[in-house]
Every structure is written in structure tokens, then in C-alpha cells.
Amino acid sequence: MKKPSISDVIASEPFEIAKNIYWVGKKTGNDLEMNVFLRIFEKGKQKINMLIDPGPPSDFDIIEQNVKKVLGNDYKIHFAFINHQDPDVGYNAIYFQRYFPNMQIITMEDTWRLIKFYGFNPKRYIPVDRFKSRTIKMITGHKLVFVPTPYCHFRGACALYDVTERVLFTGDLFGGLSDSPGFYADEQSWSGIKIFQQIYMPTNIAVENALGAIKRVDPSPALIAPQHGKIIKNEFVNHFIAKLKTLAVGLDLADQNKILVSQYIKAFNAIIQQIKLKIDKEIYDSIFSALFTDESFPEIFSIKDEEIYEVKIAVEYAMQFFLNNTLKNQSDQVKRDLQFLVLHILTDLNLPTENLNLEVDDATTNSPDDNFISEEASDLKEENTSDETNISHLNIRNLLQLIEDESGSDKFNELTVLRIMLKIPPDVLKRNKVNSYDDFFQLEETDDVDFIKYIIRGSEQILGHRLPESVLNQEI
Ligand SMILES: [Fe+2]
Ligand SMILES: [Fe+2]
């Protein structure tokens, strides 16, 4: 069943992203949508129109209508810039060249060697490679800089920098999935960018090299306009450049620890099995179908006979993606059951849980990089944590009793303990020999001050009040 997307209700109207630069694409509602841009260079009576990555044939009618809406029925396209050879990037240029036989194609030689098979007129081709300075000036005085981004994801890929408006068109680099409303990227958009980049970029070496070239453009870009997903502006430009710089992508992921990967695959399948056994069949079906992307994007999980046998992005992140899709739009009860199940299975398999976000908001999908643990911890420290400095002894028996009394059910009791454990750094758990929630239940007391500090902080955050004297400062 196709997931409802905000794109279904947003009309594909042209949208001006900067002065005289319009998004003229088509909102399809698919996981992956194509951005097409129209740049108008204007001076006095002179008007030059350039399409940037004119998109795939399936979007042509809407793109053409949008161009007309911006330029009027009597429009003309003078240039098409093409980042790389993929049909989703530039196939429509051939239709536009049939309408406007003088339209010139600007692209790298490596790209031209392939796109020429679309049937372009070879006399109407301008190789980027011709410009040694990589800079051109339009007749209207506007300056454009070509920024080759080799192997991101094709050897002939080239970004285009509009110096006047400080907009950098990056093709697939910085591209992301269409998973939330709006044109502009925010923190949540990283999730879809990360998935797309991990699937399509070959290796971090290539990405880092391209980002180095982008860092050198002057003035620095105010806007990054990729061919998929959101437009990146303001503080998110440098923020996402920094994030992408250290991201393992493509072949880098083949270096993921094999034991860790197989543990995660075990965890995915155990969670799926348990959902089938313990939770409603209908919920199982909806959760299972949410693991599949639509035909616009490669599957993240390889599945056979309802079993996952391969994960195509970083496994820790795949777990967050899985949780986002699993927890979204479930009732509070089902959410609690699922959270419990997931924590139980991950803890049993000794997989880290401290960076997982289990509090998935239905309206958005959260990124695992939003480390809710440290945020909550620092908030509480300022507000209402018990004075930890004086506490050198903690009665865990009494604490567990308190949790059970307050939560009223065994299941929630265990979940609460797991959630407290999530607030404790792995090294602190390890030195106290706590590897699962069962180990925690076996504890009677501790005088490890760090351990005490984290338990108190975590308990107070989750219970929502200070711990009473019966738990603090008591010896057994
Ligand atoms: Fe591509
Ligand atoms: Fe693309």
C-alpha cells in the first residue's frame, strides 16, 4: 500500500527559491522526487533562460506548464545545464531542444559522451571542460562557476554555482528523500539525505573531495539546491556540509563490522517475529509493508520469505529508520509494547540503545542524531535533579519497588527500567556488570558514584519527580 505523502496534497506550482530562480518540478508523492530549476538572467531588455537539470520524461508536462507559468506562453529556453547523465537529471533536455533547436547543452565532456545518445544536436553543446577558469559570464553580467564533483555519483558530475544569487546546484550530492512537507530542509531532513547519500554515493573519499571544492567557492553558498529532496539554506548549509563530510557511504559501508551487522539483522528479524507472535496481525502487516520503499528508490532492506537478510545503509541508522516506520501512527499501547519489545531484543543481543530515539513523533521522522538523551539530561540538571553530589549510596531494590508501584504493570516496569538504562553510558553499565535489564533487576545496591548519578537522573526524568528518601542514602 502506498504511503500517503504530503506531496499528494501540494500542487506542483512554481516556487521562487531566490531572485529569478524558480523550482519548476513535479511533486509526485513518491519517496524520491526530482527538482528542476529555471534561472532567468535579466538585464534591461535582455532575458536569458536556463534550465538546470530539466528532469525525467514522466515529469515533462508539469515542468513545461510550470516554465510557462513563470515565463509566459511565448517563452524560450536558451540553455540547459546537466549535472550528469542520468535520465532523471537531464532527459527532458531533448524535448526542450526539439521545441528550441538553438538551445545549448552545457555539461562536462564525460557526461556529454553518454547524454549525446539522447539525440542532442552536437553543434549545440558547450563543454564545461573548455573553460579553464571554470567561470563564465552571461551577456547580462551574471557570473556562473562550474564546480566538478567527480564520482559524486558519476565521474563527470558537475555542480553549478550561481555567484549572483549564491545558489549552488549540486545534482545528486546533498539529494534526499521526500519525507516531509515544505521546500526547505530542517534538522529532520538529514534522515532522508543520509539514506540517499549512503545508497548513491560511492565512497566518502569522493564526497569529501567534492565538499572541499564546494568549500572553496567564493562567496560561500547561501543555498544548496540538489536534484532531489529539500533545498538547504541558512545555517543548514554548513551544518549539512559538516555532517556529510564524515558520513560513511556506499563502499565504506562494506567495512561495517560484520559481527555487528549480523547482530542487527538478527535483531530486525527477532523484532519482526515477535511483532507477528505478540502483536496484532494487522499491525504486523502494516509494519512489514512500511519497510518497503516505493519504486522510485532502492529498497533499504533485502527481504526474502518475510526475513531480512541484508541491510543497504549503516545498520545503526537502519534500526532508527525501522523504528520510525514501526512506531509511527500506532496507538499509545501498541507503541509501548513495541518500545518494550525493541529494547528487550536489542539489550539481549548486546546492541547499543543509547542513541536510539524511541519517542517517535507521528508528524515527523526523527533523526538518530537528535540525541535526546543528552538534551534531557542537561535540562534536568538545571531544573530538578536531586542533589547528586551528596549521594554515595543507592538502594536499587527500593527504586525498583517504587517504579513498580508507580507504573502499575510488570511490563511497564521493565520498560521503565530499560529506559533508565538507556540514560547510562555503556562503559558505566559495563563496569557494574549490567548487560541486560535482568542484570539490573539483580542489583541490590551500588556505591559507584557515576552509576548512581545516571540512575538518579534517568529515574527522575522518566518518573517525572524527585526520588524520595526511601531510595536515596539508604544502606541495606
Ligand atoms: Fe544520478
Ligand atoms: Fe538523481
For 180-217, the pLDDT digits (tens) are 888 999 999 998 999 999 999 999 999 999 999 999 99
Ligand with an atom nearest the CA of residue 25 = 2
Residue 272 has pLDDT above 80, yes or no: yes
Highest mean pLDDT among 98-102, 355-359, 387-391: 98-102
Amino acid in the structure at residue 107: T
Of 197, 226, 245, which residue is a domain's last? 245
Ligand with an atom nearest the CA of residue 227 = 2
Ligand with an atom nearest the CA of residue 174 = 2
Q: How far is the CA of 11 from the centre of ligand 2 (A)?
A: 21
pLDDT in tens, 303-314: 998 899 999 998
**Which protein residues have a CB closer than 5 Å to ligand 2 (ion)?**
88, 172, 227
Residue 426 has pLDDT above 80, yes or no: no
Nearest 5°: the CA angle 165, 126, 37 is: 35
Indicate whether 362 belongs to any domain. Answer: no
Same domain? For 173 and 31 the reply is yes
Q: To the nearest whole percent, how much of the chain has pLDDT over 90?
A: 52
Name the phi and psi angles at 460, rounded to 5. Answer: -70, -35
How far is 61 from 80, CA to CA, in rounded Å? Answer: 17
Q: How far is the CA of 101 from the centre of ligand 1 (A)?
A: 26
Same domain? For 273 and 327 the reply is yes
No. of helices (H) and no. of strands (E), the chain: 17, 17
Read off the pLDDT band of 99 (50, 70, 90).
Answer: very high
Same domain? For 90 and 201 the reply is yes
- According to the model, what pLDDT value does residue 419 have? 72
**What nine digits make up the cell of 391?**
549521594
Ligand with an atom nearest the CA of residue 89 = 2
**Residue tagged 556540509 (cell numbers):** 241
Residue 259 has pLDDT above 70, yes or no: yes
Q: How far is the CA of 433 from the centre of ligand 1 (A)?
A: 49
Indicate whether 355 belongs to any domain. Answer: no
- According to the model, what pLDDT value does residue 105 have? 98
Q: How far is the CA of 57 from the centre of ligand 2 (A)?
A: 13
Same domain? For 206 and 118 the reply is yes
**What nine digits make up the cell of 109?**
565532456
419 neighbors 440 (Cβ within 8 angstroms):
no
Helix (H) or strand (E) run with residue 169 in it? strand 167-171
Q: How far is the CA of 198 from the centre of ligand 1 (A)?
A: 13
- CATH number of the domain residue 56 falls in: 3.60.15.10
Q: How far is the CA of 438 from the centre of ligand 1 (A)?
A: 49
Closest CA to 172 of 33, 30, 364, 295: 33
Q: How far is the CA of 217 from the centre of ligand 2 (A)?
A: 23
Closest CA to 54 of 104, 129, 108: 104
Q: How far is the CA of 148 from the centre of ligand 2 (A)?
A: 16
Pairing mode, if any, of strands 301-304 and 307-311? Answer: antiparallel
What DSSP line would sit under 47-58, residue for residue? EEEEEES---GG
How far is 252 from 204, CA to CA, in rounded Å? Answer: 7
- According to the model, what pLDDT value does residue 441 have? 78
Same domain? For 166 and 78 the reply is yes
Of 188, 216, 245, which residue is a domain's last? 245
- According to the model, what pLDDT value does residue 374 have? 28
How far is 318 from 261, CA to CA, in rounded Å? Answer: 11
Same domain? For 261 and 232 the reply is no
Same domain? For 25 and 105 the reply is yes
Read off the pLDDT band of 408 (50, 70, 90).
Answer: low
SS3 state at 44: coil
Same domain? For 136 and 22 the reply is yes
413 neighbors 367 (Cβ within 8 angstroms):
no
Indicate whether 471 belongs to any domain. Answer: no
Q: How far is the CA of 38 from the centre of ligand 1 (A)?
A: 19
Q: How far is the CA of 324 from the centre of ligand 2 (A)?
A: 25
How far is 198 from 20, CA to CA, in rounded Å? Answer: 33
Q: How far is the CA of 216 from the centre of ligand 1 (A)?
A: 24
Which one has a higher pLDDT value, 444 or 300? 300
Helix (H) or strand (E) run with residue 135 in it? strand 135-137
- According to the model, what pLDDT value does residue 3 have? 44
SS3 state at 202: coil
- According to the model, what pLDDT value does residue 369 have? 35
Of 245, 276, 303, which residue is a domain's last? 245
Read off the pLDDT band of 66 (50, 70, 90).
Answer: very high
Same domain? For 411 and 322 the reply is no
Q: How far is the CA of 201 from the centre of ligand 1 (A)?
A: 9
Ligand with an atom nearest the CA of residue 111 = 1
Same domain? For 70 and 125 the reply is yes
Mean pLDDT over each residue of the chain, to the nearest integer: 85
Which one has a higher pLDDT value, 471 or 351? 351
- According to the model, what pLDDT value does residue 407 have? 66
Residue 381 has pLDDT above 80, yes or no: no
- How many domains are contained in the chain? 3
Q: How far is the CA of 140 from the centre of ligand 1 (A)?
A: 31
220 neighbors 166 (Cβ within 8 angstroms):
yes
Residue numbers of the domain that contains 179: 6-245
Q: How far is the CA of 175 from the centre of ligand 2 (A)?
A: 8
pLDDT in tens, 112-143: 999 999 999 999 999 999 999 999 999 999 99
Same domain? For 413 and 456 the reply is yes
Same domain? For 160 and 190 the reply is yes
Indicate whether 61 belongs to any domain. Answer: yes
